[in-house]
Amino acid sequence: MATLQEINQHFDLNELERQLQTVLTFQDPVGYMQSNINWEIDKEDLDDTPELGQLTQIMAADLSANKMYGPWNPFQKFLNWFSRNRTAKKVKNGLCGIADEIQRLIDEEAELKKLLEAALLAIAAGIGIGAINPVLLTILVGILATMILKGVSSVCGF
């Protein structure tokens, strides 16, 4: 099991905190993920290559369909994508496993770095610190931002 000291040695928490703050400022986790994951290069890290080509089509279809049928919720497509992608599902399950702690930190308005530390410890405990790569970190920041913006229960489904 990874310790906080190992997390600090392996990851630049100040940079992750800056990225999370940017996502929260713009309230756009989907845009953050789109601009930080190069789907062609990073698809090996996502272990779900058949779904990646369809992601852009799904997002485009959501935009055009919702213009005709009603308001568009950008968080819904983000949450739906998590249910189809195994890597994202691992991250989501790890974070939902500590949902109470994350909710407590959000309620206490804790520093974003504390949220990131708790999240990274949970993910490292689940898959190992060596398995955490840049794509996984991008997904982690996106999920945390969604939890902060839309609530932990809306991400975890309870």
Q: How far apart are CA 94 and CA 119, in angstroms?
A: 8
- Looking at residue 145, its amino acid is A
Q: How far apart are CA 17 and CA 111, in angstroms?
A: 9
pTM above 0.75, yes or no: no
Which of 135, 140, 127 lies closest to 40, judged by CA?
135
How confident is the prediction for the chain on average, in pLDDT? 78
Mean pLDDT of 23-29: 92
Q: Which two tokens stand for residue 128?
A: 């190992």
What confidence tens digit (pLDDT) does each residue in 70-107 have? 455 656 655 555 555 777 788 888 999 999 999 999 99
**The dihedral of CA 14, 15, 17, 21: what is its sign?**
positive
Q: What are phi and psi of 157, to 5 degrees?
A: 80, 30
Q: What are phi and psi of 37, to 5 degrees?
A: -115, 120
Mean pLDDT of 10-38: 89
> Residue 120 half-sphere exposure, CB side, CA atoms within 13 Å?
28
